[in-house]
Amino acid sequence: MLKREYGVSNTISTRIGNTMLQEKSLGRAKEGTGTSVNFSGTWINELQSTVTLTQINGVLSGLYESAVSADGKSTKGDLQGYADGDLIAFVVHGRDFRAITTLVGQFDPKAQRDTINSLWQMTSQVPAGDEWASINAGIRFFYKAIAASPRAGAFLTAP
């Protein structure tokens, strides 16, 4: 029944194994919220995409502007999420495309520059029957943007 329902060849034991792996990971999580990080501001990744965050009491809102899209133009998405200590997670709903992206990450206290190490997953609209092709994932590093000049309003780019 799971094969027909999900259209994949995973077995029940694989699904249970993946669930148990998540539960084991939660068991290793530390109590408390850790060192507080204020994620407010503009962050830029290695693709020159930017995320502008406002953090109030651990709740995030903002704007994600991707420098890369299917048509080669930049695209924007509204952002909502949470910060807990040095952990961050947010969802971006694309304005121009039927796509939703999630990012989860952690502030890297050992980096030379303020850095968020993150994993992302994106799902986008695809033709019926091709649903698994709609899910993409990867890693992304975001660096706190530093104003190059207060008057210019420009930002230094990611390394």
Domain residue limits, the chain:
1-29, 37-144
Fold designation for 37-144: Lipocalin (2.40.128)
Q: Give the confidence band of 17 by pLDDT, cuts at 50, 70, 90.
A: low
Q: What is the pLDDT of residue 64?
A: 96
User: Where residue 129 falls among pLDDT bands split at 50, 70, 90?
Assistant: confident
Q: Which of 69, 36, 39 is nearest to 145 (CA)?
A: 39
Six-digit token string for 157: 């780019």
Residues 6+ apart with CB under 8 A from 60: 39, 53, 54, 79, 80, 81, 82, 83, 88, 90
Kindly tell me if the per-residue pLDDT of 127 is higher than 80: yes
Instruction: Kindly report whether the global pTM for this prediction surpasses the value 0.85.
Output: no
